[in-house]
Structure 1
């Protein structure tokens, strides 16, 4: 072996060793950030939501207070730099000159937390994704040897963050692949597998429980036509969500005075929360309530009207939350819409067609279907929802319905909130 060959092999060995070490570090930090944000958000959201139940006046005060604090933090602490959500990650991975600066970690962590706990109708998932992506981006810039692995290390942070939130390492890797990277390299596999293994190890060590406690026993072949119907409806609802987000962001961008934007958004959000408290924050409290009583809920006109109102209004209040300065995305809203849509479809089928379908199954499948269509990532949605419930009984129908919902959505609208650019709508 000549000297040049030995130096080259030694350099490669050192480079892969460093990549392994930095992937462990990214995995741990991203998972720690994700779990911390989830725990803090759950704790304070529960406290503030209970306050609104005892005094509805807080439905008016909380949104304006939360959005105002975010505005002042952005203006004075984060130097008037706005958060663009996952588009920031796309811009960074698609450009050698654009980077995710370090301040994105505290900015998204704090703003995501404040948005949700004070009633903003979105979730912390996108805040976690961008913050954990920044951890990967910062790590990549620390060593020249990682210059060529920018996308891989950003994806490692994202995958670890998703793993921490949903206790599903497969969903973490698939989200990084389907939404961010869209290609597999050896460095991607090594860094992402190590990062999610580290993240899942921390999840296991901290004994993190599934978000939803659900008992799923079986599913029946006779329900397949109804699953197809649910997939189509989920695709349509996801397009409605996407269009709402884009429309309200466009309309609110015309308001030049930032505080007018906050007051307008807060007023609309407060009215919506007062009418439908289920829309408060992530909405996971409402989903848990539905799961607990889904098999005993009788369909009535008022219940159907409530469900339809919630399904139609959720995309609007989510869009208003984001357009008026809140931090978040469409993850939690998609799961929320899917749960209510699935249960409504099941109740209608059982009441009027005597279909004898299992409501809880339709809730779980609906959650995965709307998420799949909203982000055009069916395999991420499958494993994410199965991780949320810690149950894979419905894997086959979820797979089929997620594919149906995605392609239904793509047929109507070729882009998502994340992939949209003005040229695509022309």
Structure 2
């Protein structure tokens, strides 16, 4: 009995040490990718704003570089996003080590050169690969593959969005969907390490917003926002899947790059707000949300909401690395802002546009990845405030329900089912 207790204690100790290591490496990877991408995206977009013709050229350069890197450096295998993480949790499957530099480099290049997506999925897969490698290094850890993959994912998401709770919930709601003792043990330790990492790095919220209050008379408009977000998430999902199927009909891979880059370049030339992850446009709209918008502003918001899913889908279909995280946050923010502006303009609603931007981010993300609690804590971490906790929770649940009624799958669950 004593020997059994010692072996059990040793087992948990080894798992804890592995989770600490995975959490540290995943956090370092996520924060490094975040800051490098932010810096160079700002540099490239700044140049493109000054010389507009670059908006037509940059996507072609970026997607071409990714194509040749994949061809000659990364074993000529396409990055499949979250699908790779789902597959790696199955018996006999794993994420090879080259997936770390592959997603890190390709995600960076995609966004920096204007690809209309974000680095979040690149971070998730690269972080999962850290956990996958850790499980294979010692025979004892082989039975904890899913736990260590989820530890990497949770730490990566926690570090990226400055929200350890969001990281833990994402690993549960999206990846594992089961909460065993070993899962909780490994992911809590990994996210705890990410939290310590965030403390020492003094990471600030991506959108530092001074939220003060919300009003009960806005509740019907919040619910309407949840319904619209659910509908828009289905539009995003359908765009990604349909456009990807169209691009697969182009038999020569490099023709996909050229054709996709042309579409993305034209889209960026017309609407520079769609460049990269679009967070720069979200910040600009946050700064001007208190003003009365002109009709041209309302039309631009509507156009960006409609075009972002198309450019995101084309970026991914032509070889770009990324997913629906950043596009969902972008679309949700602009959708919330547009609804608030229209409600105030035509119905004298007296709602706070800034609140609608924040709630819209969470509602759209919740519906797109079918993870309302992840969306709740992730967006609260993004804005550095929990003032809107209850409205965000309710609207996130509404948007998820609407999306599920309209479409039984997300981009993640559809690819997982069709490739199982």
User: TM-score, structure 1 length as denominator?
Assistant: 0.97
Q: 1:299 Cα shift?
A: 3.2
1:289 corresponding residue in structure 2: 284
1:247 corresponding residue in structure 2: 242
Counterpart check, 1:55 vs 2:51:
yes
Counterpart check, 1:395 vs 2:389:
yes
In 2, are the aligned partners of 1:299 and 1:351 still within 8 Å (CA)? no
In 2, are the aligned partners of 1:299 and 1:348 still within 8 Å (CA)? no
Q: Give the distance between the partners of 2:293 and 2:54, measured in 1 at CA.
A: 31
1:357 corresponding residue in structure 2: 351
Q: Give the distance between the partners of 1:13 and 1:390, measured in 2 at CA.
A: 38
Counterpart check, 1:300 vs 2:294:
yes
In 1, are the aligned partners of 2:83 and 2:415 still within 8 Å (CA)? no
Q: Secondary structure, in 3 states, of the residue corresponding to 1:201? A: helix
Q: Give the distance between the partners of 1:421 and 1:133, measured in 2 at CA.
A: 18
Q: Give the distance between the partners of 2:210 and 2:342, measured in 1 at CA.
A: 22
Counterpart check, 1:68 vs 2:38:
no
- Superposed, which structure 2 residues align to 1:328-347 within 5 Å? 328-347=322-341
Counterpart check, 1:376 vs 2:370:
yes
Report runs of 4+ in structure 1 exceeding 3 Å deviation: 421-424
Q: Give the distance between the partners of 1:304 and 1:264, measured in 2 at CA.
A: 30
CA deviation map 1:249-290 (0-9, x unaligned): 100011111111001000000000000000000100000111
Q: 1:10 Cα shift?
A: 1.9
Match of 1:226 among 208, 221, 228: 221
1:206 corresponding residue in structure 2: 201
Q: Give the distance between the partners of 1:422 and 1:102, measured in 2 at CA.
A: 22
| Higher alpha-carbon deviation: 415-424 or 283-292 | 415-424
Q: Give the distance between the partners of 1:394 and 1:406, measured in 2 at CA.
A: 18
Q: Give the distance between the partners of 1:420 and 1:101, measured in 2 at CA.
A: 23
Match of 2:315 among 301, 307, 321: 321
Counterpart check, 1:167 vs 2:162:
yes
Q: 1:100 Cα shift?
A: 0.5
CA deviation map 1:49-71 (0-9, x unaligned): 00001101111211000000000
Q: 1:135 Cα shift?
A: 0.3
Rate the CA distance shift 1:266–1:219 in 2: closer, same or farther, 3 A.
same
Q: 1:422 Cα shift?
A: 9.4
- Superposed, which structure 2 residues align to 1:98-247 within 5 Å? 98-247=93-242
Q: Secondary structure, in 3 states, of the residue corresponding to 1:63? A: helix
CA deviation map 1:195-242 (0-9, x unaligned): 011011111101111100211110011111000000000000000000
1:25 corresponding residue in structure 2: 21
User: TM-score, structure 2 length as denominator?
Assistant: 0.98
2:266 corresponding residue in structure 1: 271
Q: 1:300 Cα shift?
A: 2.9
Q: 1:47 Cα shift?
A: 0.2
Q: 1:6 Cα shift?
A: 3.1
Q: Give the distance between the partners of 2:293 and 2:78, measured in 1 at CA.
A: 44
In 2, are the aligned partners of 1:156 and 1:191 still within 8 Å (CA)? yes
In 2, are the aligned partners of 1:219 and 1:394 still within 8 Å (CA)? yes
- Superposed, which structure 2 residues align to 1:84-99 within 5 Å? 84-93=80-89, 95-99=90-94
Q: Give the distance between the partners of 1:90 and 1:132, measured in 2 at CA.
A: 13
Q: Give the distance between the partners of 1:274 and 1:248, measured in 2 at CA.
A: 21
Q: Secondary structure, in 3 states, of the residue corresponding to 2:414? A: coil
In 2, are the aligned partners of 1:212 and 1:389 still within 8 Å (CA)? yes
Q: 1:7 Cα shift?
A: 3.0
In 1, are the aligned partners of 2:83 and 2:416 still within 8 Å (CA)? no
Q: Secondary structure, in 3 states, of the residue corresponding to 2:251? A: coil
* Structure 1 vs Structure 2 CA RMSD: 1.0
Q: Which runs of 5+ in 1 are unaligned?
A: none
In 1, are the aligned partners of 2:86 and 2:416 still within 8 Å (CA)? no
In 2, are the aligned partners of 1:167 and 1:388 still within 8 Å (CA)? yes
Aligned length: 418
Q: Give the distance between the partners of 2:273 and 2:294, measured in 1 at CA.
A: 18
In 2, are the aligned partners of 1:152 and 1:188 still within 8 Å (CA)? yes
Q: Which runs of 5+ in 2 are unaligned?
A: none
Q: Give the distance between the partners of 2:156 and 2:228, measured in 1 at CA.
A: 30
